């Protein structure tokens, strides 16, 4: 049980009750009218920090809404919770662990004592080990079994041991200068294995087995397959240490796999997988962009940590985003949330946010085990603009569900082509504008009239042309995507998710739900492969096992 959330049930808080009444009074609120009536709306509802600019004026809010939402965060104990997390209290109550991914971005000279131990020694020791290996690979001191330079790195990992590193190494591709290409092997699927290894040269490829537990089936199977591939293609057992390294908190399992002691990078139980890109799990990132850029990434995240810890709640970027999310989710029945990055290099952002948000807050009991009486984590989805505009934005504009969205857009492109960036930025803005203002019946009719349509035709077509508008969004703009701003951006959403977890009273740092599937996976596997096995518990599973075996028998 956490010791900061004094109420346990958020619905009992005064601010929650006031928000329920306030929601009633907002039934007829029109954002379009609000912008017309208040020329200062943009200034009043926008905020800069850590190189990011948040425009949250296109929301279904007034000044009163904001103060009630901030009160909710305050009454839920967000400030105390943040301090508890940063100082190493065991806020992951179901696993009895502190939650200290923020320690990974703390600069040198700021000790952090937990259970009598200065964790910063471990953190900076791991960073030094990363620096050493990255510099040896980049300077060609570390070579493959027949002394060829390492050109390709395959990260074997899944979930948090994959999504964050993939996002960052690809988002920061313009900073890749050392001739090392990163590849990611996650799924237990021969198609993916074949695709990743197809063009690799065994002599110049390094494999990183990235697994906090070193017990994840997909990763271990892929690691074995990569090892067999390495040996089959001419690699030697003797020089295997030049091609395989591991990042894990399970040192013994990595040793048993055959990884050399010096090639094992540490992880700790106080870092959740989905928050681990800042640790040695980020090794592929450092190999792609260099250790100096990796440290810049950490310093961007650290800047956001300080912002989150020190800024008043009213001007606190993660708190505002979190409270707005709660406003729509719990008071406007918005069951999903869209992320729409307008930048090709951020194409993997949504995948990372999906794990970060849904694995963290996809919970339905509070810290004390009691069931929540309200909904928690929303469905997270989205993808890069403009592609989404020609696919699912239709539903955002005219569909029945209310889906709040965050637009994320840099001003400067790393690869300017003609006036593409101007168009990209313009598309981003026009989407949020269209969502906000919509097109009313009179406008739709006037448009059709201007085209010379008969009144019968206007009557028939106008309903299809009406766009309700009043659909909320935030825009997070940044000057350019670089290691610092990306670090701040990712940390912004980490803290947003944390704040929402605090408000809902759930433990954002365990993931017991994924365990059952893993357990059942073993029993289904043994029934698939052993003909004498007991039948499955249910006829559906057994029927599908028979379907598989029918095909494989012949
Ligand atoms: O790094 P590991 O231990 O292989 O775990 C991978 C992923 O699996 C999960 O435990 C979910 O199954 C994630 O939380 C984690 O990021």
Q: What is the pLDDT of residue 352?
A: 98
Which residue from 161, 214, 217, 507 has its CB within 8 A of the most atoms of ligand 1, so it is best to mutate? 161
pLDDT band for position 177 (50/70/90)? Answer: confident
**The one catalytic residue among 40, 110, 238, 390:** 390
Predicted confidence (pLDDT) at residue 6 exceeds the cutoff of 60: no
Burial 181-200, CB ≥16 within 10 A → b, else e: bbbbbbebeeeebeebbeeb
Considering only residues 454 and 8, tell me which one the structure prediction assigns the higher pLDDT: 454
H-helix or E-strand containing 547? Answer: helix 539-553
pLDDT tens digit string along 15-73? 999 999 999 999 999 999 999 999 999 999 999 999 999 999 999 999 999 999 999 99
Ligand 1 atom 8, closest CA: 159
Q: What is the pLDDT of residue 190?
A: 98
H-helix or E-strand containing 184? Answer: strand 181-185
pLDDT band for position 1 (50/70/90)? Answer: very low
CA gap 83, 292 in Å, rounded? 29
Q: What is the pLDDT of residue 130?
A: 98
Reply yes or no on whether 439 is catalytic: no
Q: What is the pLDDT of residue 7?
A: 52
Predicted confidence (pLDDT) at residue 3 exceeds the cutoff of 50: no
Q: Look at residue 537 and give its three-state secondary structure.
A: coil
3-state per-residue secondary structure call for 399-441: CCCCCCEEEEEECCCCCCCCCHHHHHHHHHHHHHHHHHHCECH
Q: What is the pLDDT of residue 178?
A: 81
Q: What is the pLDDT of residue 109?
A: 87
Ligand 1 atom 12, closest CA: 514
Rounded distance from Cα 337 to ligand 1 centre (Å): 24
Average pLDDT over residues 523-532: 85
Q: What is the pLDDT of residue 534?
A: 86
**The one catalytic residue among 166, 218, 296, 359:** 359
pTM for this structure? 0.97
Predicted confidence (pLDDT) at residue 288 exceeds the cutoff of 50: yes
Weakest-pLDDT range from 82-96, 219-233, 394-408, 522-536: 522-536
pLDDT over 70 percentage in the chain: 98
Average pLDDT over residues 459-480: 98
H-assigned helices in 279-376 = 283-289, 291-310, 317-326, 349-354, 360-361
pLDDT tens digit string along 197-216? 999 999 999 999 999 999 99
The sign one gets for the Cα dihedral 512, 164, 131, 111 is: negative
Tell me how crowded residue 314 is: count the other CB atoms within 10 A of its CB: 14
Tell me how crowded residue 440 is: count the other CB atoms within 10 A of its CB: 14
Query: Considering only CA atoms, which of 404, 399, 471, 405 is closest in space to residue 438?
Result: 471
Ligand 1 atom 14, closest CA: 273
pLDDT tens digit string along 118-157? 999 999 999 999 999 999 999 999 999 999 999 999 999 9
pLDDT band for position 8 (50/70/90)? Answer: confident
pLDDT tens digit string along 492-501? 999 999 999 9
Tell me how crowded residue 552 is: count the other CB atoms within 10 A of its CB: 9
Q: What is the pLDDT of residue 75?
A: 98
Q: What is the pLDDT of residue 522?
A: 87
Q: What is the pLDDT of residue 5?
A: 52
Rounded distance from Cα 270 to ligand 1 centre (Å): 14
Predicted confidence (pLDDT) at residue 319 exceeds the cutoff of 90: yes
Q: What is the pLDDT of residue 4?
A: 53
Average pLDDT over residues 355-369: 97
CA gap 349, 79 in Å, rounded? 27
Contact 481, 414 (CB under 8 A): yes
Reply yes or no on whether 329 is catalytic: no
**The one catalytic residue among 63, 83, 140, 518:** 518
CB half-sphere exposure, 499, CA atoms < 13 A:
31
3-state per-residue secondary structure call for 95-137: CCECCCHHHHHCCCCCCCEECCEEHHHHHHHHHHHHHHHHHHH
Cα–Cα distances (Å) from 170 to 163, 284, 483, in that order, read 11, 10, 11
Ligand 1 atom 13, closest CA: 159
Q: What is the pLDDT of residue 237?
A: 96
Average pLDDT over residues 534-544: 93
Rounded distance from Cα 128 to ligand 1 centre (Å): 25
Which residue from 158, 162, 359 has its CB within 8 A of the most atoms of ligand 1, so it is best to mutate? 158
Average model confidence (pLDDT) for the chain?
Answer: 96
Ligand 1 atom, smallest distance to 161 CA = 1
Taking phi over 0 as left and psi of -120 to 50 as alpha, with beta for the rest, 179 belongs to left
Average pLDDT over residues 386-410: 98
Reply yes or no on whether 515 is catalytic: no
Q: What is the pLDDT of residue 519?
A: 86
Rounded distance from Cα 494 to ligand 1 centre (Å): 17
Contact 207, 157 (CB under 8 A): no
Weakest-pLDDT range from 450-459, 479-488, 545-554: 545-554
Q: What is the pLDDT of residue 232?
A: 98
Indicate the burial class of 237 (C-beta count within 10 angstroms; 0-12, 13-18, 19 or more): exposed
pLDDT band for position 552 (50/70/90)? Answer: confident
Which residue from 353, 509, 511, 520 has its CB within 8 A of the most atoms of ligand 1, so it is best to mutate? 511
């Amino acid at each position: 049980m956490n010791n900061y959330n004094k109420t346990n049930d958020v619905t009992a808080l005064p601010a929650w009750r006031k928000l329920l009444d306030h929601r009633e009074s907002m039934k007829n609120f029109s954002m379009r009218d609000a912008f017309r009536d208040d020329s200062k709306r943009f200034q009043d509802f926008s905020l800069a920090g850590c190189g990011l600019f948040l425009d949250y004026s296109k929301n279904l809010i007034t000044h009163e809404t904001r103060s009630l939402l901030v009160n909710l965060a305050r009454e839920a104990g967000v400030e105390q919770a943040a301090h508890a997390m940063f100082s190493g209290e065991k806020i992951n109550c179901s696993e009895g662990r502190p939650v200290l991914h923020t320690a990974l971005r703390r600069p040198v000279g700021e000790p952090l004592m937990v259970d009598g131990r200065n964790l910063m020694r471990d953190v900076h020791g791991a960073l030094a080990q990363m620096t050493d290996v990255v510099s040896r690979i980049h300077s060609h001191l570390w070579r493959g079994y027949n002394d060829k330079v390492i050109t390709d790195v395959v990260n074997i990992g899944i979930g948090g041991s994959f999504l964050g590193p993939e996002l960052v190494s690809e988002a920061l591709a313009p900073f890749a200068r050392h001739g090392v290409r990163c590849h990611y092997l996650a799924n237990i699927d021969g198609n993916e294995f074949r695709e990743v290894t197809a063009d690799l040269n065994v002599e110049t490829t390094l494999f990183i087995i990235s697994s906090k537990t070193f017990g994840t089936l997909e990763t271990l199977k892929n690691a074995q397959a990569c090892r067999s591939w390495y040996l089959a293609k001419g690699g030697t057992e003797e020089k295997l240490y030049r091609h395989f390294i591991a990042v894990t908190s399970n040192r013994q399992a990595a040793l048993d796999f055959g990884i050399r002691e010096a090639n094992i990078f540490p992880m700790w139980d106080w870092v959740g997988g989905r928050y681990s890109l800042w640790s040695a799990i980020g090794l592929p990132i450092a190999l792609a962009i260099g250790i100096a850029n990796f440290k810049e990434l950490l310093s961007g995240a650290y800047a956001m940590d300080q912002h989150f810890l020190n800024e008043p709640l009213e001007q606190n970027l993660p708190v505002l985003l979190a409270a707005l999310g709660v406003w729509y989710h719990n008071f406007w029945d918005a069951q999903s949330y869209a992320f729409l990055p307008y930048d090709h290099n951020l194409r993997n952002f949504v995948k990372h946010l999906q794990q970060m948000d849904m694995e963290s807050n996809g919970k339905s009991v509070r810290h004390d085990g009691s069931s929540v009486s309200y909904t928690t984590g929303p469905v997270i989805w989205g993808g890069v603009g403009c592609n989404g505009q020609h696919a699912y934005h239709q539903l955002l504009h005219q569909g029945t569900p209310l889906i709040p969205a965050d637009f994320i857009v840099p001003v400067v492109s790393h690869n300017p082509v003609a006036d593409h960036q101007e168009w990209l930025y313009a598309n981003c803005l026009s989407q949020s504008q269209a969502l906000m203002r919509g097109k009313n019946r009179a406008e739709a009719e006037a448009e059709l009239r201007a085209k010379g349509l008969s009144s019968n035709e206007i009557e028939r077509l106008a309903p299809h042309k009406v766009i309700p508008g009043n659909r909320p969004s935030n825009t997070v703009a940044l000057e350019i995507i670089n290691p610092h701003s990306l670090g701040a951006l990712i940390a912004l959403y980490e803290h947003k998710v944390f704040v929402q977890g605090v408000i809902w009273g759930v433990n954002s740092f365990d993931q017991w739900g994924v365990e059952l599937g893993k357990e059942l996976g073993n029993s289904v596997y043994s029934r698939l492969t052993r003909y004498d096995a007991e039948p499955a518990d249910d006829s559906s599973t057994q029927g599908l096992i028979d379907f598989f075996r029918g095909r494989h028998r012949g």
